[in-house]
Structure 1
Amino acid sequence: MHKKLWGAVLAPLFAAALGGCDAPREQVTVFERDAVPESLSDWHVVEAIDGELSLNDGVIPYDLNTALFTDYAHKLRTVWMPAGTTAAYGDENFDYPVGTVITKTFYYPKDAVGAQAAVLRTDDYSRDYVAGKTGEALDLENVRLMETRVLVKRADGWQALPYVWNAEQTDAVLEIAGDATRLQLASASGENTSFTYVVPDANQCAGCHADNHTEKAIMPLGPRARHLNKDYAYATGAENQLLHWQQVGYLSGLPEFAAIPKNVNFKDETASLEERARSYLDINCGHCHNPAGPADTSGLMLHHLEQDRRKLGLCKPPVAAGTGSGNRLFAIVPGEPEESILNFRVETTNPGAMMPELGRSLEHDEGTALLREWVASMPGSCS
């Protein structure tokens, strides 16, 4: 009998004889740019196995001080680097080695009623994870996976790839053209909101991640020093993420800790209102609104380094008026959020006016409330 046929016959017999012993898990695979796999599972970074979305060996989860808002979706972020390689520290960007794979899985806690199209709006992550694996393995009984975005570092730069999870929640499939799903978002108060969850296409992924409009090079936006400078609840215990990356060999050249920049959690009321608002604007708007970003011609600079209040929007008229201004005269009118273009654009859900342009169909109530409070606290006037 042919060798391959013998293998097909004997493999099930060996599996039965093993009595359920776990087979060794395949190592993370990095494909050539032109040989991108159709299935997320082929990367072997995060996989749906035995009712869990689990991380492979060497795949490290991480979180951000303040995260980009995406229609109240929860996110599991991971990084993996080839053996023997490390990222070199930089305040603005890390120099990641070729072969680095960064993933971000978007998901929602399931509605307790179990409706297929209903998901929960909640800040509670406690039911998301498998018992005893907090922060490191999602419980597929309790969450609905939407998409996993992959950033892989090639020899000629980063490549962005969107994978959409199937209805069975067994794997995600490459969808270069993106995807859209109608959902019901259920709040703790019992109020349901209909919305469309949109997965951006590969070009849109690349556009957002090219925060230098001149170079047009894709870069990771979240895993930067100021966003990572916080504790994470690893299985081995809570530890600062930058120190942990250094400890496992994923980061070199870490400076004295006091010299490392740090954004704040925008919900942390022990931080100043200014720090909270600036951190929120930095992660949600700064990748476009910076001196080299796609929105550089607007003159509105919302990245973390900007100190010029005029460039931050104070009494700054728009470069181009129209529906995007909401018929308001200045980006920020001190003390008057209802007269400020910035507040209008983050609050509206009109696709022709809302900001950010991608990643949301809904208003982020908590974020817009913070920005209204920030603008209301400003002294002075534009008259």
Structure 2
Amino acid sequence: NGFFYVFYTAQGSGSPNRLSRFKVTPDDPFAGDPETEVILIDQPDDAGNHNGGDVHFGPDGYLYVALGDEGNANDSLNNSQRIEKDFFAGILRIDVDKRPGSLPPNPHIAVSNNYSIPPDNPFVGATTFLNRSVNPDQVRTEFWAVGLRNPWRMAFDPVSGLLYTGDVGQGRLEEVDIIQKGGNYGWSFKEGTADGPDARRAPEGFVDIPPILEYRHGSGPDRGNSITGGVVYRGDRLSQLYGAYVFADYVSGNIWAMRHEGNRHTDWFNLARDSGIAGFGIDPTQGDILLADHNANRIMRLVGTEDTLNVGFPPTLADTGAFMDLENLIPNPGIEPYEINTPFWSDNATKQRWFSIPGNKAGIRFERQGPWGFREGSIWIKHFDLEMVRGDPASSRRLETRFLVKHEDGVYGLTYRWDDSQENAFLVDESGYRETFSIQDGEETIEQVWRYPSRSECLACHTPSAGLVLGFSTAQLNCSVVRNNHEVSQLSWLKSAGYFQAEPETIEALPAMVSADDSSASLTRRVKSYLASNCSQCHRPDGEALGRWDARYETPVLESGLINGHVVRHEGQADRRLIVPGNLEKSEIYQRISNQGSRRMPPVGSHVLDVEGIDLLKRWITETLPRKTFADWQQHFSNMVPNLELDPTGDADHDGWDNLSEYYLGTDPTFASDRWRLRLDVSRETLFVPNPSGIELRLESSLFLGNAVEWEAIEILETTEPVFGYKGLLESKLEGFNEGSKFYRAAIIFPELE
């Protein structure tokens, strides 16, 4: 809409700190019109320093404003631990769009009526602060966080949404903080983790949020005197810095990078030196870090040196030594093929995969669920082919071969692009590469863009929280493969080959994902597998995605946050949810995967919609999910039978099925004869099984009964036409039906147990 927001110190009485909105000129989008100023906050300031003043929109669309403690020293103006006084010593969060449901600000000399208060701000309705009473009508409900001395530059990580701030210390310590809702960062009771000038005034039980990094005053490589908060690097050119927080010290000139886990830093190292760095920015074209040099009056770009960019990687695929026969992609000894159950969507490309564990094998730490552990030097190779004529494998072109290498501190990725001769592949530059191919699809010619990932883009998916290595896990590898012309369990083969440090449990009891087109599995299981493969690297506990839902395969649907889960960026459509049963339009995840554009998910590497994946999610939302809730089901039967109690573990009709099971199976909990059961058609030698929506079934047979007998799986051949209350009847032809006694059973898997 042409609006932009500015924080500045105005001339005139009181030298007010002013937050204003301006608009660009009608004729030039790069020029602001000073006559369009609308003042939002105009706070008089009695000192000349500690003005803070950084301004950023958060991922939630609200405006965040950093404020110093007004100035002088020792918080002599008494602003730092106050929420009912003025606009100092904290970070504000305001609604400049005045959305429905937002609140008016409390009256104050600095306040206008040109913004609103988000209703979930932490001090809305507060009546106490630091063990003392406050008048809720005088609370500055704009505050998001307090207890900051002079937050000099803040920035949101565009991936995780975390808000980083550099807070300038007084005489001892500078600090980096991660800002949390309602957080108190200690000033002036604390300076960093040390006592501050007002430590003795801290109320009993006072607890602040400590910095994730602090450094002492001085001039050494780990010292400084005035921090300048920085940015999180998410660019393409410097993969070594991907995900690191880059910041500086204005006085000492140190420019650092820092990584952290939770609330503590794990790595902190020097990048360069230049005094007078007053601020950081991001070049949106490729994510480069920009630095504002106040002393030299210039804007600079952070670039890698030859030593950091050229580290001796093999220039061609042949030079890697991975393949003894490059023409036929036959690997050298020690490099083994592997397959997975649910591939990541790769724009219609077909893939081959290999791995290598160095040393005397036994280099894999097996885990039933979650990421496995791997020895340093382990390598995974993935090769991509793309059909130039859809449906014709003979038209396939070799595109690229990728390497993922485990090292002491994590992983790095390399991409080799096959040339037009298709005889060799060459190392792609640090920043990646983009190419367009003409694909024949029936009578139509399609221009398909292919992205060869930068080394930073590799790390965008291969995240620490996901274990760095994707697809090489129990649920993905638990499938059958061919080894030495025999079909074997892949996990059993890994076990017998000695790759595991400790023996896993019985292979048959381990979880297994399924492919999207596996019609023998329930829609729920197929969707869970698809989301785990395509989304769980970021959407998981401690993951870097903004959307806080859990896509891991082992997480039950009802615990994942998917169903009616809140959307972080709803683009003004507040009634949207992650998944709304029965409603595709309001299901944000469906919209994200089925539409191109900047909000497309997954966000890295893909330029072609996954039609089969979209249809799978569509069917799940419209067919499986729109069942009555358990509460609705309880109410329905309670209306029919007075005083009926239907707690989940009870058995109202004493038929052996608890009420929750009857809810899922679609049977009547008040009528014992209405039971879920197998039906045998002797004349057709066929077993029929009712199959309610969202329920997964496994059929098994045995010649005997008993605790030690072996049960064999029965193949489900087809699904009959749907009948009332059911998705259909599963049927299975029974082999050896007239060869003596045989027993049959069904295992029922409810959604919570998937």
- Does the alignment pair 1:375 with 2:617? no
What is the 5 A alignment of 1:68-147?
68-86=344-362, 87-91=364-368, 92-109=370-387, 119-122=388-391, 143-147=396-400
Q: What does 1:356-375 align with in structure 2 at a 5 Å threshold?
A: 356-375=602-621
Cα 1:317/1:95, change in 2 over 3 Å: closer
Query: Is the partner of 1:35 in helix, strand or coil?
Result: coil
Change (3 A) 1:183 1:257: same
Match of 1:268 among 514, 518, 523: 518
- Aligned pairs (5 A) from 1:35-46: 35-46=312-323
Deviation at 1:54, TM superposition (A): 1.9
Larger radius of gyration: 2
Tell whether 2:434 aligns with 1:180: yes
Overall identity of the aligned pairs, in %: 27
- Does residue 309 (structure 1) correspond to residue 585 (structure 2)? The answer is no
Q: Which runs of 5+ in 1 are unaligned?
A: 1-32, 110-118, 129-141
Kindly indicate whether the alpha-carbon contact (under 8 Å) linking 1:105 and 1:148 is maintained by their aligned counterparts in 2: yes
Q: Secondary structure at the match of 1:360?
A: coil
Distance 1:356 1:381 in 2: 31
Instruction: Please tell me whether residue 150 in structure 1 is matched to residue 407 in structure 2.
Output: no
2:500 & 2:323 partners in 1: Cα distance? 21
Counterpart of 1:59 in structure 2: which amino acid? I
Q: Distance in 2 between matches of 1:45 and 1:97?
A: 18
Shift of 1:235: 4.5
Q: Which of 536, 541, 548 is equivalent to 1:291?
A: 541
Q: CA deviation at 1:79?
A: 0.5
Please report how far the alpha carbon of residue 309 of structure 1 lies from its aligned counterpart in structure 2 after TM superposition: 3.0
Q: Could you give the per-residue CA deviations for residues 204-247 of structure 1, whole angstroms, max 9, x where no partner exists?
A: 1012101518xxxx611011111010012335322221122223
1:344 to 591, 599, 607: 591
1:360, 1:309 → 2: CA distance? 29
2:439 is aligned with what amino acid? L
Deviation at 1:355, TM superposition (A): 0.3
Name the amino acid aligned to 1:335.
G
Determine the C-alpha separation between the residues in 2 that align with 1:376 and 1:363. 20
- Give, in angstroms, the shift of residue 190 of structure 1: 4.3
Report if aligned partners of 1:226, 1:263 keep a CA contact under 8 Å in 2. yes
Deviation at 1:60, TM superposition (A): 1.0
Q: Tell me which residue corresponds to 2:450.
A: 197
Distance 1:380-1:239 versus aligned 2 partners, 3 A rule: closer
Whole-angstrom distance in 1 between the partners of 2:500 and 2:404:
18
- Which letter does structure 2 place at the counterpart of 1:241? Q
For the 8 Å contact 1:211–1:288, the answer to whether it is kept is: no
> Is residue 2:459 matched to residue 1:206?
yes
3-state SS of the aligned residue for 1:319?
coil
| 2:420 maps to which of 164, 167, 173 | 167
CA 1:211 to 1:69, structure 2 compared with 1: closer, same or farther past 3 Å? Answer: farther
Whole-angstrom CA distance in 2 between matches of 1:68 and 1:190: 28
Deviation at 1:48, TM superposition (A): 5.5
User: Which whole-Å CA distance do the structure 2 matches of 1:143 and 1:195 have between them?
Assistant: 14
Q: Secondary structure at the match of 1:337?
A: coil
SS at match of 2:333: coil
Matches within 5 A, 1:206-285: 206-212=459-465, 219-252=468-501, 253-285=503-535
Q: Are the counterparts in 2 of residues 120 and 185 from structure 1 also a CA contact under 8 Å?
A: yes
Higher strand share: 2
Change (3 A) 1:265 1:182: same
Asked if 2 retains the 8 angstrom alpha-carbon contact of 1:71 and 1:364, the reply is yes
CA distance in 2, matches of 1:244, 1:75: 21
Secondary structure of 1:369 counterpart? helix
Residues 333 and 381, structure 1, Cα contact 8 Å, conserved in 2 = no
Asked if the contact 1:61–1:77 (Cα under 8 Å) also holds between the matched residues in 2, the reply is yes
The structure-2 alpha-carbon separation of the partners of 1:345 and 1:249, relative to structure 1 and needing over 3 Å to count, comes to: same
Q: What do the CA deviations read for 1:307-356 (whole angstroms, capped 9, x no partner)?
A: 25374422223122229x7x861221111123311111000111x11000
SS in 1 for 2:329: strand
Q: Deviation of residue 83 (structure 1)? A: 4.1
- Equivalent position SS for 1:321: coil
Whether the 8 Å contact between 1:48 and 1:171 is mirrored in structure 2 is no
Kept in 2: contact 1:310–1:316 (CA 8 A): no
Q: 2:72 is matched with which residue?
A: none
Match of 1:116 in 2: none
- Using the TM superposition, name which of 264-273 and 178-187 deviates more: 178-187
Q: Secondary structure at the match of 1:284?
A: helix
Separation of aligned partners in 2, 1:196 and 1:342: 23
Q: Displacement of 1:46 after TM fit?
A: 3.2
Question: Equivalent residue of 2:360, what SS?
Answer: coil
Structure 1 residue 88 displacement after superposition: 2.4
In structure 1, give the amino acid aligned to 2:313.
Answer: V
How far did 1:275 drift? 0.2
Question: Does structure 2 retain, via aligned residues, the 8 Å contact 1:47–1:171?
Answer: no
- Give the TM-score taking structure 1 as reference length: 0.76
Looking at structure 1, the residues matched to 474 and 356 of structure 2 have their Cα atoms a distance apart, in angstroms, of 17
Question: Do the aligned residues in 1 keep the contact of 2:340 with 2:479 (CA within 8 Å)?
Answer: yes
Whether contact under 8 Å (2:355, 2:381) holds in the other structure is yes
Q: Distance in 2 between matches of 1:249 and 1:236?
A: 20
Alpha carbons of structure 1 residues 261 and 330: separation in structure 2 relative to 1, 3 Å: same
Distance 1:328 1:381 in 2: 20
Deviation at 1:359, TM superposition (A): 2.5
Supply the AA of the counterpart residue of 2:576: L
Assess if the C-alpha contact under 8 Å between 1:162 and 1:199 holds in 2.
yes
Matched residue count: 315
Which residue of structure 2 aligns with residue 64 of structure 1?
Answer: 340
- Normalised TM-score (structure 2): 0.40
* Paired AA for residue 425 in structure 2: A
Contact 2:492 2:507 in 1 (8 A): no
What is the CA–CA distance in structure 2 between the aligned matches of 1:376 and 1:47, rounded to whole Å?
50
Task: Give me the whole-angstrom Cα distance separating, in 2, the residues matched to 1:258 and 1:193.
Answer: 44
SS in 2 for 1:52: coil
Distance in 1 (alpha carbons) for counterparts of 2:584 and 2:559: 16
Distance in 2 between residues matched to 1:178 and 1:240, nearest whole Å: 37
Report deviation, 1:157. Answer: 2.8
